[in-house]
Chains A and B, each alone.
Chain A
Amino acid sequence: MPALISSFSEATPLPPPTVRPAGSRWAWGFLIDIGLFLCVFAAIFGLYAIGRTWLGPVHPEAQISQNPRDLPLYALYSLVRIGVAYTLSLLFALAYGYIAASSRRAEIIMIPLLDILQSIPVLSFLPGVMLAMVAIFPHSELGVELGCILLIFTGQVWNIAFSFYSSLKSVPRELHEAAIIYRFSRWQRFAELDLPFSTIGLVWNSMMSVAGGWFFLMACEMFVLGTHDFRLPGLGSFLQTAASHGDTRAILWGVAAMVTVIVLLDQLVWRPIIIWADKFKFEQVESSGTAQTSLLHIIGRASILIRLYRLLFLPFFNWLTLTFTLGARRAAKTFSAPKQHQLRRWIGYLLGVGVLVGLGFTVYHAVRELSGLHGEDYRELLESAALTFLRVNAALILGALWTVPAGVAIGSNPRFARIAQPLVQIAASIPATALFPIILLFLLRLRGGLEIAALLLMLLGTQWYILFNVIAGAMAIPTDLKEVAHVFHFSSWDRWRHLILPAIFPYLVTGMVTASGGAWNASIVAEYFHFQGRIVSAPGLGSTISSASDSGRFDVLLASTLIMATVVVLINRLVWRRLYRLAASRFKLET
């Protein structure tokens, strides 16, 4: 993405430099250069190692080591998988969002479709993705690897696509008009207006997506599909294996490794990116007190990066813009407008027909698959859907019950917030699935232990969305309203009823929407688990999906996926969207 890169070092006014004597500044820059060289070397070696494994022969049932010394390599494998999946997600999401936002006809189909795809649990994509990939690359590890990456991809891509789409739709009108009147080519409009305007949304959603990737890593790196047992070396499979052996020491090592990787990723990648993205904030006045990071400082200073950027990226970017511009101008001259329209229309028709045919074919086969199931089966499926429904909502209510008071406490007390917020962020960044084996160790001894454990896992996976939103809401309560409550001696009940709850309501709804979707998706890992050599499962739609995928019952898998997607979409439409509207109309704090 040249736009992102182009705006990086060249033009960014560096944060005010810390005072350092001239000689040592030079030395500092030199050290950084050496460090960067080492990083590049390490990266090349890592690529080599990964390439060797991927292109090697298939080890569908590779032995997953339980030795902590293998953890760095396993962490690298997982990191690369998540990285590749994320890159694919980003590219796909950009394309999807762009098309949906620029074609009205495509939009009608693509946006509701996004809603539905978002509600399909990751594991439901598994059999299709996996079988296709293994069929394409039957003789190398690449097939299984790609399958795993695509699974992670399906869990990451939708919210990024949606964020990009809605950013594109909200580009301010006059900026858009400026781009038209100054005759920006499509490319220039994308690189200088659309992409920068969407950056902040993309960054936050990328963070959420990657967190989701870690959450489902265990499910994606190791699974049974009918008679096939797929295992890929990585942090997820390490933890999974440790859990099924009941090896407490290995579990602890694995969790520690994962937490380390995630915390490092947060500090070294996301923090700097967030701060860098600050320049894309669409505001007219400079806000005070922007955060700073030392890493960005260092990168900004590293002369190699600047030189590389000036030598390679800048000319490349210029060349790209020029090419697109000239191309667009040439096209405008040679093509007569109506002809082009006609051509485009025909392509559109062809595409439409193709999609319809594909759709008809798929539906036909899906219906045939489903017709094998009996009324009894559907009754069971609906029952398990009801059970999962109860569990999800119990998790939501429990989550709200503790996060609302805690979030309000953190959000309305700046001094407390300064201590609590980083802690909460670290806690939130640990994927609940990694902790799950530890929780199971304790809870399985109790009666109904898995029932509690499943609830707890959903809670752990989703409560943070609510908490962060409540904190944001509490921080946004205007001081004068608080003062009113103070002056009139509101009792604490009145304060909650008349001030705090209404003020945080929109934020609470936003958090709950995300949490609800997340909890449904989490049910597939929460209700069904390989542990200490056996399968522990709680009845529910999630465990139905997991076990159907395990045993290769495609009809059950299809039916249960359909039910889950329908339930999630229905709940969104009937409950959350209405609450959203209520929040926007009645509880919006306007100045």
Chain B
Amino acid sequence: MSTANTEPVPIIEARQLEKFYPQPDGSRIQVIAATDLAVYPGQIIALLGASGCGKSTLLRMLTGLSPASAGSVFWHGQPVQGESPNVSIVFQSFALFPWLTVLENVEAPLEARGMPPIERHKRALRIIDAVGLDGFETAYPKELSGGMKQRVGVARALVVEPEVLFMDEPFSALDVLTAETLRGELLELWLGHKIPTRAIFIVTHNIEEAVVLADRIIVLGRNPAHIHADFTVDLPHPRDRKAAKFIELVDSIYRVLTRPEHKDETSPPRTYGAGVAVRPKVIMLPHTRPGGMAGLLEILADHGGRADLHRLADELSLEVDALLPTVDTAVLLGLLRVEEGEAVITPEGQIFAQADIQGRKAIFRKAAIANVPLLRQMEQALKSKSDRTLNDEFFRDLLDEHFSEDEARRQLETAIQWGRYAEIFDYDAATGKLTLTEA
């Protein structure tokens, strides 16, 4: 799967790295399937995937913040336990200490290394200057704009001269323009060899960001997370977003992201050691509300029933992250098909788009009962009770067997949203009671 790399020894290498939660009955909930991944010097690697697919967990396992359930991480060929020896992380939420000034924030990691005050002062000032923050040394984070804050985050990460710089969605909390500026500045530092960092590993859900920055893009598939595709980007810097090659690459990544996966070729082997059963997979509901899907189908109908997902996201100024769950919902209900990065509306979808509210509910109901096992199960269970009523806890317990506690809660919330919209059942949030809707 991995494309050929010329450098022989990776800085960090993950071998058969896995994350799962063992259940009391001996089975397990798999979050990340056994994964091989290597970070070579001289590269910016982007890890791309939809939100909640396990990107951040993988980053945390590579850095040693979160222990792996199985497999191991190697640092220059040596196995490591705990935190990797020389890495930094830039966080999505900046993670600055609000009670420390910019200077104190940047000095803190040096302090932790036991560096004497004068030396760390000098180093911190140098890096603050490099990221363009001079003049703000004595400011507190809350006085700074988002972009300035993330500059502090970058300065703090770079001041310890990490061999690998990890970035966890570093620009997604910023507005579009600021994010673009910061990307440019990061590239400038990196390409100009102004920092001793030998590799950058960036987690993102923004395809264009990945293509602008990275030398290698790893696309992560979902449920459990696994490496779905691995692209090498050899466009010269600075990369032109309007260039044909750039657009082509973005399109092909889009196609990969939206392509239904063929289990036999992309999924890892399904045997996890002797005697441990992996649960049969249940369909995981995308966390969307029916209203958003209706909007998408209407727009598609306006486009003549067929549109390129990439253009569609652009037009709606949505990121792939926001659009994909809605697309997944429509696909799951059989109202939409995805063919090679294009969304195609089905006949049912066409009817749905043109129907009035009551008509839509009827179509939704039919599609939901037919295609969503969980809703079918819920309807059946409610029908079997004489008072047509059940507590939500009953269903949560059912879901708990297949998902982590958090995910089970969210799955149930989504199912309840859908079921209410489809008028399959009513839900009283105060008592937690689900009641079958009388036809």
A interface residues, Cβ below 8 angstroms from B = 7, 11, 13, 172, 174-175, 177-178, 180-185, 188, 192-193, 196, 199, 279-286, 318, 321-322, 325-326, 329, 585-586
B141: chain A residues within 8 A (beta carbon): 284
Check B143–A178 contact: CB distance below 8 A: no
Check A182–B114 contact: CB distance below 8 A: no
Check B99–A181 contact: CB distance below 8 A: no
A183: chain B residues within 8 A (beta carbon): 83, 109, 112-113
Select from chain A the residue with minimum beta-carbon distance to B114.
A325
Selected from A174, A196, A322, A325, the residue in CB contact (under 8 A) with B95 is: A174
Instruction: List 17 additional A-B contacts (Cβ < 8 Å) besides A181-B65, A182-B88.
Output: A11-B138, A172-B95, A175-B97, A177-B60, A177-B65, A181-B89, A182-B156, A183-B109, A183-B112, A183-B113, A184-B108, A188-B111, A279-B140, A286-B143, A325-B111, A325-B112, A329-B114
A-B contact count (CB 8 A): 87
* A286 to B429 CA separation, bound complex (whole angstroms): 36
The verdict on B91 contacting chain A, using a C-beta distance below 8 Å, is yes
Select from chain B the residue with minimum beta-carbon distance to A286.
B142
Check B142–A284 contact: CB distance below 8 A: yes
CB distance from B165 to the nearest CB of A (A): 11
Check A322–B116 contact: CB distance below 8 A: yes
The verdict on B133 contacting chain A, using a C-beta distance below 8 Å, is no
* A143 to B291 CA separation, bound complex (whole angstroms): 72
The verdict on B236 contacting chain A, using a C-beta distance below 8 Å, is no
Per-position binary interface string of chain B over residues 123-156, scored 1 when its CB falls under 8 Å from any chain A CB and 0 otherwise: 0000000000000001111110000010000001
CB distance from A578 to the nearest CB of B (A): 13
Select from chain A the residue with minimum beta-carbon distance to B104.
A11
8 pairs, A vs B, C-beta closer than 8 Å: A172-B93, A174-B91, A174-B95, A192-B97, A279-B98, A282-B98, A283-B142, A286-B142
Select from chain A the residue with minimum beta-carbon distance to B99.
A196
Check B112–A185 contact: CB distance below 8 A: yes
Check A325–B113 contact: CB distance below 8 A: yes
CB distance from B392 to the nearest CB of A (A): 12
B92: chain A residues within 8 A (beta carbon): 174
B83: chain A residues within 8 A (beta carbon): 180-181, 183
Selected from A182, A285, A325, the residue in CB contact (under 8 A) with B160 is: A182
Q: Considering residues A181, A279, A286, A329, which has the most beta carbons from chain B within 10 angstroms of its beta carbon?
A: A181
CB distance from A523 to the nearest CB of B (A): 35
The verdict on B430 contacting chain A, using a C-beta distance below 8 Å, is yes
Check A326–B99 contact: CB distance below 8 A: no
A181-B65, A329-B114 in contact; A174/B93 too (CB < 8 A)?
Answer: yes
The verdict on B44 contacting chain A, using a C-beta distance below 8 Å, is no
Check A318–B95 contact: CB distance below 8 A: no
A11-B104, A182-B108 in contact; A196/B142 too (CB < 8 A)?
Answer: no
A11-B138, A177-B65, A182-B109 in contact; A280/B99 too (CB < 8 A)?
Answer: yes
The verdict on B63 contacting chain A, using a C-beta distance below 8 Å, is yes
CB distance from B103 to the nearest CB of A (A): 8
Check B95–A178 contact: CB distance below 8 A: yes
A181-B63, A183-B83, A285-B142 in contact; A279/B117 too (CB < 8 A)?
Answer: no
The verdict on B411 contacting chain A, using a C-beta distance below 8 Å, is no
Check B108–A188 contact: CB distance below 8 A: yes
Select from chain B the residue with minimum beta-carbon distance to A178.
B95
Select from chain A the residue with minimum beta-carbon distance to B139.
A13
Check B143–A321 contact: CB distance below 8 A: no
The verdict on B87 contacting chain A, using a C-beta distance below 8 Å, is yes
* A536 to B83 CA separation, bound complex (whole angstroms): 66
B117: chain A residues within 8 A (beta carbon): 318
Check A13–B140 contact: CB distance below 8 A: yes
Check B114–A193 contact: CB distance below 8 A: no
Check B98–A326 contact: CB distance below 8 A: no
Interface of A is mostly: helix
The verdict on B101 contacting chain A, using a C-beta distance below 8 Å, is yes
CB distance from B89 to the nearest CB of A (A): 5
* A422 to B83 CA separation, bound complex (whole angstroms): 52
The verdict on B390 contacting chain A, using a C-beta distance below 8 Å, is no
B113: chain A residues within 8 A (beta carbon): 183, 325
B104: chain A residues within 8 A (beta carbon): 11
B88: chain A residues within 8 A (beta carbon): 181-182
Q: Which B224-245 residues have a C-beta within 8 angstroms of A?
A: none
* A181 to B86 CA separation, bound complex (whole angstroms): 9
The verdict on B100 contacting chain A, using a C-beta distance below 8 Å, is yes
B149: chain A residues within 8 A (beta carbon): 284
Selected from A175, A180, A192, A199, the residue in CB contact (under 8 A) with B65 is: A180
Q: Which 10 A-B pairs have the closest CB atoms?
A: A182-B109, A174-B95, A196-B99, A325-B114, A178-B95, A174-B91, A286-B142, A184-B112, A183-B112, A174-B93
B112: chain A residues within 8 A (beta carbon): 182-185, 188, 325
Selected from B89, B99, B138, B430, the residue in CB contact (under 8 A) with A586 is: B430
Selected from A196, A199, A321, A326, the residue in CB contact (under 8 A) with B97 is: A196
B99: chain A residues within 8 A (beta carbon): 7, 196, 199, 279-280
* A322 to B114 CA separation, bound complex (whole angstroms): 5
A13-B140, A282-B98 in contact; A192/B93 too (CB < 8 A)?
Answer: no
Q: Which B38-61 residues have a C-beta within 8 angstroms of A?
A: 60
Select from chain A the residue with minimum beta-carbon distance to B81.
A337
CB distance from B251 to the nearest CB of A (A): 34
* A465 to B72 CA separation, bound complex (whole angstroms): 54
Q: Considering residues A174, A178, A285, A326, which has the most beta carbons from chain B within 10 angstroms of its beta carbon?
A: A178
Select from chain B the residue with minimum beta-carbon distance to A283.
B142
Select from chain A the residue with minimum beta-carbon distance to B85.
A183
Selected from B95, B100, B111, B142, the residue in CB contact (under 8 A) with A177 is: B95
Selected from B60, B87, B91, B98, the residue in CB contact (under 8 A) with A280 is: B98
* A175 to B108 CA separation, bound complex (whole angstroms): 13
Per-position binary interface string of chain B over residues 184-200, scored 1 when its CB falls under 8 Å from any chain A CB and 0 otherwise: 00000000000000000
Check A177–B109 contact: CB distance below 8 A: no
Select from chain B the residue with minimum beta-carbon distance to A175.
B95
* A280 to B99 CA separation, bound complex (whole angstroms): 5
CB distance from A195 to the nearest CB of B (A): 9
Selected from B65, B89, B111, B138, the residue in CB contact (under 8 A) with A321 is: B111
Check B89–A178 contact: CB distance below 8 A: yes
B89: chain A residues within 8 A (beta carbon): 177-178, 181
A322: chain B residues within 8 A (beta carbon): 111, 114, 116
* A180 to B67 CA separation, bound complex (whole angstroms): 13
A279-B99, A280-B98 in contact; A181/B87 too (CB < 8 A)?
Answer: yes
* A321 to B113 CA separation, bound complex (whole angstroms): 10
CB distance from B35 to the nearest CB of A (A): 21
CB distance from B106 to the nearest CB of A (A): 11
* A182 to B113 CA separation, bound complex (whole angstroms): 8
Check B101–A11 contact: CB distance below 8 A: yes
Check B429–A586 contact: CB distance below 8 A: yes
Check B116–A177 contact: CB distance below 8 A: no
A283: chain B residues within 8 A (beta carbon): 98, 142
CB distance from B143 to the nearest CB of A (A): 6
CB distance from A35 to the nearest CB of B (A): 28
* A567 to B100 CA separation, bound complex (whole angstroms): 45
CB distance from B151 to the nearest CB of A (A): 15
CB distance from A13 to the nearest CB of B (A): 7
* A11 to B104 CA separation, bound complex (whole angstroms): 9
A284: chain B residues within 8 A (beta carbon): 98, 141-142, 149
* A178 to B149 CA separation, bound complex (whole angstroms): 15
